[in-house]
């Protein structure tokens, strides 16, 4: 099992860089925004709601629903208009499970109701569209840039929250496939995918006490945030799928990992 050990000083190369973050108002996204601002990066956060806490530094919030192409375009265009460039993108917006594939609920005509696609629309399609627009902007500058995608450890294993697991498997495939596509097109854009295990966020707020009671480690969002920022900062990191874990979670997930 490979490990990448890094220190805070490894993140400071992002000072002055412009980073677009989706889903940056809570959980992993918020922790990442706060860390980026602490190292004096400029952050444009696209989310459906603004953070509850006040942000300080070079920060801008743009109300953005990642399921709507026009709103994603507006997010990136505003970032470019404000800062003149975009250096990196963190495609992070996501929600918890929504669909019930065993439902027997019928509509007014007595037919089985279609299951919700909300999770897939946000967690998978939202990531794909965010990354597509990111490539469009990053390819316009000679130095390119990077994209970090928030996947999940559920993308590496079976998980009975089927829509959530399906979306994260899809995110893993998209992130991995995008790397050789960009290489073939000779575009200097790095893509890395995070695959964190249980993390304290709005995705699983009601499960935290249960998971702790059965000795399943729930890591703070700041752990994953540091991994996201490291993958953004380190120009040698490309094509990595990285379960971001604290030491207590390492034995629960197979694969490469970042120890922070």
Any residues with CB less than 8 A from the CB of 140 and at least 6 apart, and which?
none
Task: Give pLDDT, residue 227.
Answer: 93
- For residue range 55-88, what is the model confidence (pLDDT) as tens digits? 999 999 999 999 999 999 999 999 999 999 999 9
For 89-116, the pLDDT digits (tens) are 999 999 988 999 999 999 999 999 999 9
* Catalytic-labelled residue, pool 9, 53, 78, 164: 164
Question: pLDDT category, 3, cuts 50, 70, 90?
Answer: low
User: Bridge partners of 46?
Assistant: 22, 62
Convert the pLDDT of each residue in 4-58 to its tens digit: 677 777 899 999 999 999 999 999 999 999 999 999 999 999 999 999 999 999 9
| 122 has pLDDT over 50 | yes
Residues 6+ away with beta carbon under 8 Å from 130: 22, 66, 72, 89, 91, 93
Residue 164: active-site member: yes
Q: State how far the Cα of 10 lies from the Cα of 89, in Å rounded to an integer.
A: 18
Residue 216 has pLDDT above 90, yes or no: no
Point out the catalytic residue in the list 168, 183, 208, 230.
Answer: 168
Domain of 234, CATH number, reads: 3.40.50.720
Q: Which residue has the higher pLDDT, 17 or 254?
A: 17
**Whether the predicted pLDDT of 246 surpasses 60:** no
Q: State which residues form the domain around 182.
A: 3-259
> How large is the average pLDDT for residues 229-250?
82
Residue 258's pLDDT is 43
What is the count of structural domains for the chain? 1
Q: Would you list the DSSP string of the chain?
A: --EEE--GGGGGGGTT-EEEEESTTSHHHHHHHHHHHHTT-EEEEEESS--SSPP-SSEEEEE--TT-HHHHHHHHHHHHHHHS---EEEE---------TT---B-TTSPBPPPP-HHHIIIIIHHHHHHHHHHHHHTTSTT-EEEEEE--GGGGS--S-HHHHHHHHHHHHHHHHHHHHHHHTT--EEEEEE---SBSSTTSGGGHHHHHHTT---B-HHHHHHHHHHHHH-TT--S-EE-EE-GGGGGGS-S-EEE-
- pLDDT, position 249: 46
Name the least confident of 15-29, 58-72, 202-216, 221-235. Answer: 202-216
Instruction: Give the whole-angstrom CA distance, residue 96 versus residue 205.
Output: 10
Cα–Cα distance, 26 to 36 (Å, whole number):
14
Between 258 and 197, name the one with better pLDDT. Answer: 197
Mean pLDDT of 181-207: 85
């Amino acid at each position: 099992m490979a490990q990448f050990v890094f220190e805070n000083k490894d993140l400071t190369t992002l000072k002055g860089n412009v980073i677009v973050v989706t889903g940056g108002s809570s959980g992993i996204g918020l922790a990442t925004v706060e860390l980026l601002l602490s190292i004096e990066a400029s952050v444009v956060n696209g989310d459906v709601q603004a953070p509850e806490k006040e942000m300080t530094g070079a920060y801008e919030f743009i109300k953005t629903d990642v399921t709507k192409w026009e709103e994603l375009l507006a997010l990136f265009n505003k970032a470019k208009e404000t800062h003149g460039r975009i250096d990196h993108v963190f495609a992070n917006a996501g929600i918890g499970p929504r669909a019930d594939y065993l439902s027997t609920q019928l509509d007014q005509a007595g037919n089985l109701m279609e299951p919700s696609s909300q999770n897939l629309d946000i967690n998978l399609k939202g990531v794909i569209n965010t990354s597509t627009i990111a490539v469009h902007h990053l390819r316009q500058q000679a130095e390119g840039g990077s994209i970090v995608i928030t996947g999940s450890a559920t993308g590496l294993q079976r998980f009975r929250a089927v829509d959530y697991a399906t979306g994260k498997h899809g995110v893993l495939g998209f992130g991995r496939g995008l790397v050789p596509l960009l290489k073939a097109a000779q575009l200097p854009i790095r893509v890395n995918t995070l695959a964190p295990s249980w993390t304290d966020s709005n995705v699983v707020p009601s499960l935290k006490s249960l998971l702790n009671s059965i000795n399943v480690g729930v890591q703070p969002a700041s752990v994953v945030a540091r991994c996201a920022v490291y993958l953004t900062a380190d120009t040698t990191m490309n094509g990595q799928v990285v379960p971001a874990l604290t030491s207590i979670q390492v034995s629960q997930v197979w694969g490469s990992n970042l120890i922070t």
